[in-house]
Amino acid sequence: MNCFYASVEMAYNPELKGKPLAIAGNPEERKGIIVTSSYEARAKGVKTTMPLWQAKKLCPELIVMRPNFDRYRAASKEIFKMLSEITPHVQPVSIDEGYMDLTDIEHDGNPIDVATNLQKRIVDELDLPSSIGIGPNKFLAKMASDMKKPLGITVLRKRELPHILWPMPIEKMYGVGKKTGEKLNKLEINTIGDLAKKDVYELKQVLGINGERLKNRANGMDTRTVDPDAVHEFKSIGSSQTLSHDTTDEKEIRNLMHQLSDNVERRMKRKKAAGRSIQVMIRYYDHTTITRSKKLNTYIETKEDILQVANELLQKHWNLEPIRLLGITLQDVEEKKNIGEQLNLFTYEQRAKKENLYIAMDALSAKYGKNTFKQLTNSEDEEQLKTSFQKDFLDDYKR
């Protein structure tokens, strides 16, 4: 999707169209960082992750709106529904991006026709612009999708790599971040073509197995499949927050730890999951960041258990310097249905009392299917999920 958050706001309020618009956090707090902006704002130099004060200096007429993640999630859900009507082979990778495998629907039209019709439908029904890349594998499709924005449709074939892909700067290659780009530059790799021709041994000396992987992709090779179930492979669920000011105030820090633990518990309930490692992230006033974790003997899921371990880690590893950001993550996460229940002295009697109920439920499930019973959840859980950077909602379009 093109400038997704800004585009959703423009679709919601057409008066914003054609104006420089930025989505950012609270302007009065340090979270005033540009999340995304319209093309009109980008033309003035406004960029993602730019501090709000800097963006306003470049573009004084900039319209700033706080994120409305419920609105963005609703739009995302409708988009992925459209994709799934074309093929069941859809893999969401973020709120505004995903892959489709069209191999099995070639008899229904060529991929360019499918892309053209899909793009038009998203505009007609949701008033949102998108760019679509078509290629023989994930990497080439992804690279193609970035080549023409907004409302672009680009086909990238392997035979076209030498004159389309290889001349591009190495920093433009998907999978090459700032640090990797710097390492490649030191090896005199400045374009994707340079990477494609580089000796794999040299690359592995600097980047390990990722060096070989990047070289293969530069040559148009990518064996990853479009996996609709990949969205379920979450191994950690966490929450972090930047404080409005650097602080050593223990009450303020304690309140934030409670809030973060509550966020993690709510998301664990939503996914019907539990985890057995806790990680705490502390970012200090000078941006120095540490992460410390503890492996547990049993799976946990409640706020109380999460908070207890997180507080232990904080007390042990906080050097009492002013804190800028805190994060709590529950790791080694598994869905409860995959976790064998461990009965103990205090719970086995309760389980025994319900045994007849469990037998009846098993019998009904065998007769009517495994989805006969559904656990009721607090409707407030949906209302309180406020961040788009989580990925555990990306299968909502199937519901």
The pLDDT of residue 389 is 47
Determine contact, residues 2/131, Cβ cutoff 8 Å: yes
How far are the Cα atoms of 2, 73, 396 from residue 8, in angstroms, in the given order? 10, 10, 18
Fold assignment, 70-158: Alpha-Beta Plaits (3.30.70)
Residue pair 76/93 in contact by the 8 Å Cβ criterion? no
From first to last of its 399 residues, the chain has per-residue pLDDT tens of: 999 999 999 999 999 999 999 998 765 555 578 989 999 999 999 998 888 889 999 999 999 999 998 899 999 999 999 999 999 999 999 999 999 999 887 656 689 999 999 999 999 999 999 999 999 999 999 999 999 999 999 999 999 999 999 999 999 999 998 889 999 999 999 999 999 999 999 999 999 999 999 999 999 999 999 998 777 666 788 888 888 889 999 999 999 999 999 999 988 888 788 999 999 999 998 888 999 999 998 899 899 999 999 999 999 999 999 999 999 999 988 888 777 654 444 454 555 555 566 566 666 666 665 455 555 544 433 333 344 445 667 777 777
Strands 132-134 and 153-155: parallel
Burial annotation 99-118 (CB, 10 A radius, 16+ → b, else e): bbbbeeeeeeeebeebbeeb
- CATH tag, 4-67: 3.40.1170.60
- Structural element, H or E, at residue 186: helix 178-186
What pLDDT, on the 0 to 100 scale, is given for residue 395? 74
Residue 217, sorted as left (phi over 0), alpha (psi -120 to 50) or beta, turns out to be alpha
Q: What is the pLDDT of residue 374?
A: 54
**Binding site: residue ranges?**
96
Domain residue spans in the chain? 4-67, 70-158, 169-218, 234-342
Phi/psi of residue 379, each to 5°?
Answer: -60, -20
What's the CATH architecture for 234-342?
2-Layer Sandwich (3.30)
Residues 6+ apart with CB under 8 A from 246: 284, 285, 322, 323, 324
Residue found under tokens 């229904």 = 108
pLDDT of residue 378: 47
Q: List, for residues 96-129, the tens digit of each pLDDT value.
A: 999 999 988 765 668 999 999 999 999 999 999 9
Which of the residues 78, 97, 252, 312 is marked catalytic? Answer: 97
Catalytic residue check, 97: yes
Give the pLDDT score at 161.
97
For residue 92, give both structure tokens.
């969401």
Binding residues for Mg(2+): 96
Give the pLDDT of residue 142.
97
pLDDT tens track for 124-144: 999 999 999 999 999 999 999
Q: What would the CATH number be for the domain defined by 169-218?
A: 1.10.150.20
